[in-house]
Structure 1
Amino acid sequence: MDINRRRLLRAGLGVSAILALAACGNGSPGSTDGASGPPRPGGTLRVGALGKSSKIERDPHATLSNDSDFLIMSLLYDPLTVPGADPNVAPRLAARWEADKDQRNWTFTLADGASFHDGRPVTSADVVWSLRRLREMAGETKVPVSSVADIRPAGPNAVVLTCAAPNSQLPLLLRMMTFVVPEGTTDFARGVGSGPFRLESFDRGNARLVRNETWHGGPPLLDAIEVTLFESPESMSNAIMAGQIDLASSVGAVAGRTAESRGDLKVVRRPDDVAVAIAMRTSDGPFADPRVREALRLIVDRDAMVAQVLSGYGTVANDVLGTADPSFDRSLPQRTRDIDRAKALLAEAGFDTSKTYRLVTKQEAAGEVESARVFAAQAGDAGLKIEVVVQEANDFYDRTWLRAPFYTVNWGTNDSVVFFASKVMTSQTAWNETDFADPAFDKAYARALAAPAGAEFVEASREIQRIQYDRGGYLVWGMADGIDIAAASVQGLPDLGGYGRVQLERAWLSS
Structure 2
Amino acid sequence: MVAASRRVLLGSSLAAATVTAVAACGGTDDEGGAGGAPREGGTLRVGALGSVEALTKDPHGLLSNNSDFLIMSLVYDALTVPGGGTGVAPRLAESWSVADDAKTWTFTIAEGASFHDGTPVIAADVVASMKRIIVDMDAAFKVPVPPEQITALDDRTVQMVTEDPNSQLPLLLRLVTFTTREGADATAFNGTGPFKLEDYTDGNARLVRFDGWHGPRPLLDAIEVTRFESTDAMMNALQGGQIDLATTAGAVSARLAEESGAFTVHRRPNDAALPIVMRVADGPFADVRVRTAMRLIADRDALVQQALSGYGTVANDVLGTGDAFYDTSLPQRAQDLDTARSLLAEAGFDLDATYTLYTIDEAFGEVAAATLFAEQAAKAGVTIEVVEQDAGTFYDQTWCKADLYTMFWGTNDSVAFYAQKVLQSSSETNETGWASEDFDRAYGDLLAATDPAAQEDASHRMQRLEYDESGYLLWGMADGIDLHTPAVNGLSTAPGFGWVLLEGAWLAS
Instruction: Give the structure-1-normalised TM-score.
Output: 0.91
1:364 maps to amino acid? E
- Residues 236, 293 of structure 1: alpha-carbon distance in 2 compared, 3 angstrom cutoff: farther
Q: Which moved more, 1:245-254 or 1:33-42?
A: 33-42
Partners in 2 of 1:225 and 1:142 — Cα distance? Answer: 27
1:468 corresponds to which residue?
466
1:45 corresponds to which residue?
44
1:216-227 map, 5 Å: 216-227=214-225
SS in 2 for 1:376: helix
Q: 2:19 aligns with which of 3, 14, 17?
A: 14
Deviations 1:421-452, CA, capped at 9 Å, x for gaps? 12321223343222332211110001112223
Q: 1:9: Cα distance to partner?
A: 8.8
User: Which consecutive unaligned segments of at least 5 residues does structure 1 have?
Assistant: none
Q: 2:481 aligns with which of 483, 487, 496?
A: 483
- Asked if the contact 2:29–2:489 (Cα under 8 Å) also holds between the matched residues in 1, the reply is yes
Partners in 1 of 2:12 and 2:272 — Cα distance? Answer: 8
SS in 2 for 1:336: coil
Q: 1:395: Cα distance to partner?
A: 5.3
Q: 1:50: Cα distance to partner?
A: 2.2
Q: 1:197: Cα distance to partner?
A: 1.6
1:157 corresponds to which residue?
156
Q: 1:32: Cα distance to partner?
A: 6.1
Q: Which moved more, 1:239-248 or 1:436-445?
A: 239-248
- Residues 331, 382 of structure 1: alpha-carbon distance in 2 compared, 3 angstrom cutoff: same
SS in 2 for 1:272: strand
1:112 corresponds to which residue?
111
Partners in 1 of 2:389 and 2:204 — Cα distance? Answer: 26
- Asked if the contact 2:103–2:162 (Cα under 8 Å) also holds between the matched residues in 1, the reply is yes
SS in 2 for 1:12: coil
Partners in 2 of 1:475 and 1:108 — Cα distance? Answer: 38
Q: Percent identity?
A: 55
SS in 1 for 2:306: helix
Q: 1:302: Cα distance to partner?
A: 0.7
SS in 1 for 2:319: coil
Q: 1:192 aligns with which of 190, 193, 196?
A: 190
- Asked if the contact 1:28–1:496 (Cα under 8 Å) also holds between the matched residues in 2, the reply is yes
Q: Which moved more, 1:2-11 or 1:149-158?
A: 2-11
Deviations 1:111-145, CA, capped at 9 Å, x for gaps? 12222223322221111111122233466642222
Partners in 2 of 1:358 and 1:185 — Cα distance? Answer: 52
SS in 2 for 1:291: helix
Deviations 1:205-236, CA, capped at 9 Å, x for gaps? 33222222222214422222222223333333
- Asked if the contact 2:209–2:222 (Cα under 8 Å) also holds between the matched residues in 1, the reply is yes
1:407 corresponds to which residue?
405
2:169 corresponds to which residue?
170
* Pair 1:143-2:149 in alignment: no
Instruction: Give the structure-2-normalised TM-score.
Output: 0.91
- Residues 334, 218 of structure 1: alpha-carbon distance in 2 compared, 3 angstrom cutoff: closer
1:182 maps to amino acid? R
Partners in 2 of 1:34 and 1:252 — Cα distance? Answer: 19
Deviations 1:355-389, CA, capped at 9 Å, x for gaps? 43332322222212211221122222233333323
Deviations 1:85-116, CA, capped at 9 Å, x for gaps? 23432110001111112221110010122222
2:118 maps to amino acid? G
Output the aligned Cα RMSD: 2.5
Deviations 1:228-267, CA, capped at 9 Å, x for gaps? 2233333333332332321112222232222224454211
Partners in 1 of 2:186 and 2:98 — Cα distance? Answer: 34
2:272 corresponds to which residue?
274
Deviations 1:152-183, CA, capped at 9 Å, x for gaps? 11112111111223222211111112111222
SS in 1 for 2:274: strand
Partners in 2 of 1:388 and 1:138 — Cα distance? Answer: 37
1:79 corresponds to which residue?
78
Partners in 2 of 1:34 and 1:233 — Cα distance? Answer: 22
1:419 corresponds to which residue?
417
SS in 2 for 1:382: coil
Q: Which moved more, 1:101-110 or 1:329-338?
A: 329-338
1:260 corresponds to which residue?
258
* Pair 1:320-2:318 in alignment: yes
- Asked if the contact 1:355–1:385 (Cα under 8 Å) also holds between the matched residues in 2, the reply is yes
2:61 corresponds to which residue?
62
Partners in 1 of 2:294 and 2:185 — Cα distance? Answer: 48
- Residues 307, 88 of structure 1: alpha-carbon distance in 2 compared, 3 angstrom cutoff: same
Q: 1:505: Cα distance to partner?
A: 0.9
2:3 corresponds to which residue?
none
1:340 corresponds to which residue?
338
Deviations 1:54-104, CA, capped at 9 Å, x for gaps? 222332222222222221221121110011223432110001111112221
User: Which consecutive unaligned segments of at least 5 residues does structure 2 have?
Assistant: 1-5
* Pair 1:3-2:8 in alignment: yes
- Residues 132, 355 of structure 1: alpha-carbon distance in 2 compared, 3 angstrom cutoff: farther
Partners in 2 of 1:73 and 1:403 — Cα distance? Answer: 35
1:102 maps to amino acid? D
* Pair 1:127-2:126 in alignment: yes
